[in-house]
């Protein structure tokens, strides 16, 4: 957790139960109702199976776990580099990790599985295993996965099958290590069938209770932020994410880029709210480039130390803590840099009520809600004064120097 964003005492953080149930709380207070949408399967699959249940049979008798940052940043992954500490950064250029797993050969029911849905099919459990490298280093790791035998039982090996062959990906364009012809790529390994069927042999999709990363160049950190809705309620939330500027730095914005446009999914079949033509779907939001590059602006993939659930905008959403909550777009599928100010969904649907900036400002009321005070979630009767820029004046006021904030609302 980054200390500079942890200025709230623990008793000031919105209780987790109120966060998950905030819409029912708001309805009870008569502040309006919003239906939770069923998001597309792709938004859920990344989180499937997490958090996994700890298997007590593989969860004791060790002196202590290896630190998570060592496990995720000290890797033998020769496809990318022979330097263990370099892999975590290089692997981020790998844009197409395997999406399917094919099981074939001497089986009665060959199948292909969606890699992200294996957790749904077989269920995940957490096991703490010793891990020993031939180079004479070791670690103790909590892996999240399922016994390989469950997968093999599903495809029904033939009686003549004796071995299981495993083949990794082949993508020299993304994996620089595969451009060296010293190794006979792709990576291939094998087990005897009885070894593969042993209960210890694990198919792993996570580590330390989180989905298995390709590697974490955008390492997640937890930041506790205020969150203020234009409907005059608020909460204090521990988000898990990384600064958006890290992502933008990687794609290298052109000099003419002035704005960042964010687009969410479009799937009326799964999301009944998108069947209403009152709103110009899909949900679109935008920031000025300097707002997007501000260190406060966060790409979020988790909350309360857990993977972000679908109702909160999985797999990735935006959090801009000095702006009203509707600017923090959920379930982002596309980010574009442009020289033209994007028209957000709310600007298009209610131009007299919603502007581009949407900065928290107690001096500028919304036509339907006073913005001078707010009701913290979990507090049924008390209200507190709203702070300019939601309390983040020192970090963001310079972005709007000389602007008429009543005009540019």
CATH number for the domain spanning 21: value is 3.90.420.10
Residues 227 and 342 in one domain: yes
* pLDDT digits 0-9 by tens, 69-87: 788 888 888 898 888 888 8
Give yes or no: residues 137 and 234 share one domain: no
CA 287 to chain centroid, in Å, comes to 20
Residue 403 zone, left/alpha/beta (φ > 0; ψ -120 to 50; rest): beta
Task: Give the number of other CB atoms < 10 A from CB of residue 95.
Answer: 9
The domain total for the chain is 2
**Residue 399: predicted pLDDT:** 96
- Contact partners, residue 269, CB within 8 Å, separation at least 6: none
Which residues in the chain show pLDDT less than 50? 1-3, 10, 20, 22-46, 216-217
- 222 and 304 belong to one structural domain: yes
Q: Which domain holds residue 7?
A: 3-43+216-400
Which H or E run contains 260?
Answer: strand 259-264
Global pTM value = 0.57
Q: Is residue 8 part of a domain?
A: yes
Q: Coil, strand, or helix at residue 163?
A: strand
As given in the structure block, the two tokens for residue 281 are 């779907």
Residues 113, 151 within the same domain? yes
- 285 plus 364 within the same structural domain: yes
If asked whether residues 361 and 235 sit together in one domain, one would say: yes
Quick one: pLDDT at residue 408? 84
Of 175, 208, 241, the residue at which a domain comes to its end is: 208
Q: Report pLDDT digits (tens) over 105-130.
A: 999 999 988 876 788 888 889 999 99
Paired tokens of 82: 């022979």
| Residues 352 and 278 grouped into a single domain | yes
């Amino acid at each position: 957790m980054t200390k500079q964003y942890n200025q709230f005492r623990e008793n000031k953080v919105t209780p987790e139960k109120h966060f998950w149930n905030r819409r029912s709380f708001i309805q009870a207070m008569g502040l309006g109702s919003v239906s939770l949408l069923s998001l597309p399967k792709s938004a859920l699959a990344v989180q499937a199976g997490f958090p996994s249940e700890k298997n007590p049979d593989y969860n004791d008798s060790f002196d202590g776990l290896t630190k998570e940052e060592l496990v995720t940043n000290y890797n033998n992954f020769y496809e990318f580099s022979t330097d263990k500490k370099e892999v975590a950064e290089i692997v981020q250029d790998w844009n197409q990790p395997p999406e399917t797993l094919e099981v074939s050969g001497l089986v009665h029911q060959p199948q292909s599985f969606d890699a992200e849905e294996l957790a749904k099919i077989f269920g995940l459990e957490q096991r703490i295993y010793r891990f020993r490298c031939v180079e004479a280093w070791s670690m103790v790791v909590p892996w999240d996965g399922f016994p390989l035998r469950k997968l093999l039982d599903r495809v029904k090996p033939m009686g003549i099958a004796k071995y299981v062959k495993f083949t990794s990906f082949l993508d020299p364009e993304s994996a620089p290590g595969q451009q060296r012809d010293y190794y006979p790529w792709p990576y291939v390994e094998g087990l005897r069938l009885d070894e593969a069927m042993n209960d210890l042999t694990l198919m792993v999709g996570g580590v330390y209770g989180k989905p298995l990363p390709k590697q974490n160049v955008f390492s997640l950190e937890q930041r506790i932020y205020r969150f203020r809705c234009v409907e005059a309620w608020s909460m204090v939330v521990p988000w898990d994410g990384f600064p958006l500027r890290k992502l933008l730095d990687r794609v290298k914005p052109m000099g003419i880029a002035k704005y960042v446009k964010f687009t969410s999914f479009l799937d009326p079949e799964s999301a009944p709210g998108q069947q209403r033509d009152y709103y110009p779907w899909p949900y679109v939001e935008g920031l000025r480039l300097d707002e997007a590059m501000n260190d406060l602006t966060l790409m979020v993939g988790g909350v309360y130390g857990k993977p972000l659930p679908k109702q909160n905008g999985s797999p990735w959403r935006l959090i801009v803590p000095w702006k009203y909550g509707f600017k923090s777009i959920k379930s982002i599928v596309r980010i574009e840099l442009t020289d033209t100010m994007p028209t957000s969904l709310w600007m298009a649907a209610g131009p007299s009520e919603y502007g581009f900036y949407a900065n928290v400002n107690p001096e500028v009321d919304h036509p339907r809600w006073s913005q001078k005070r707010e009701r913290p979630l979990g507090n049924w009767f008390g209200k507190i004064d709203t702070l300019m820029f939601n309390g983040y004046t020192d970090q963001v006021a310079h972005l709007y120097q000389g602007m008429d904030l009543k005009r540019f609302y």
